[in-house]
Amino acid sequence: MNICVRCHQRKGKRRCPLYQGWLCSLCCGQIREKENRCPTTCSFFQKHHLYQEKRFLEKHADQLNRLQLVEEQLAQNDKLTWLAYSIEKEIAQEAQKNPHLRDQDIIEALSRVQETLRKGGRQIILPGESLSPLDSLTDKINHILNTCRHQRDIVVPESYEHYSLEEKNQVIDTLLTRAKFLSLRTNLSGKEYLNNLLQRLAAIDKKLSSGVLLHK
């Protein structure tokens, strides 16, 4: 009989590529769910991942439908997509400077910006006022909203368009919906949205550097 190489008590029923031996089902589950060290090639990990993904989508069906709706609306508008890209690019740069930045920090910053927009005005930062990391991110997002311009497809004297308050609200609402949904996928680092953001931006930047338009 194979004995679990981890607890040395129960019967080992699952071959583990990490431990290079047999594990009992309890130790297998603890490594997978608590330690998060399973190789993605493990067949038990793959089955568990597919099962958990199905449960996640079923549990959060309403949030997923909401996300799909706002994402479709954003994708149909190049102008709004450019603003969303510019804001998320700023968030990514801030995350590189601050390795402690988590999804909940980003959600809080976006929520503050949304509240400012709902009041219809700009956020006022007093000269010399010290900013916390969260204040700094909030301020930078507001700065993007106030300075970002979109180039028209047809070159005319006024070839760069400003963003209306309604457009800014729509973009921030979409980013908040995206961040809140992705952050539901709990992980040890609390950076599910941020990791997804970095992957998407890397793919977009690769297309932009090769001359491919953002939506082509």
Q: What is the mean pLDDT of residues 48-67?
A: 85
Reported confidence tier of residue 65, pLDDT bands at 50, 70, 90: very high
> If you search the block for the tokens 């079923």, which residue do you land on?
58
The whole-chain average pLDDT of the chain stands at 85
Phi then psi for residue 154, to 5 deg, are -100, 125
Q: Is pLDDT larger for residue 135 or for residue 90?
A: 90
Q: Decide: residue 193, CB within 10 A, 0-12 exposed, 13-18 middle, 19+ buried.
A: buried
Q: Decide: residue 36, CB within 10 A, 0-12 exposed, 13-18 middle, 19+ buried.
A: exposed
Reported confidence tier of residue 215, pLDDT bands at 50, 70, 90: very low
Phi then psi for residue 210, to 5 deg, are -95, 5
Give the pLDDT confidence of 184-194 residue by residue, as tens digits.
876 556 899 99
Reported confidence tier of residue 155, pLDDT bands at 50, 70, 90: very low
Q: Is the confidence at residue 154, as pLDDT, over 60?
A: no
Reported confidence tier of residue 49, pLDDT bands at 50, 70, 90: confident
- What is the spatial distance between Cα 139 and Cα 146, in angstroms, rounded to a whole number? 11
Q: What's at 122, amino acid-wise?
A: R
What is the distance, to the nearest Å, from the Cα of residue 24 to the centroid of all Cα atoms in its chain? 35
Q: Is the confidence at residue 143, as pLDDT, over 90?
A: yes
Q: Is pLDDT larger for residue 111 or for residue 59?
A: 111
pLDDT at residue number 24 = 95
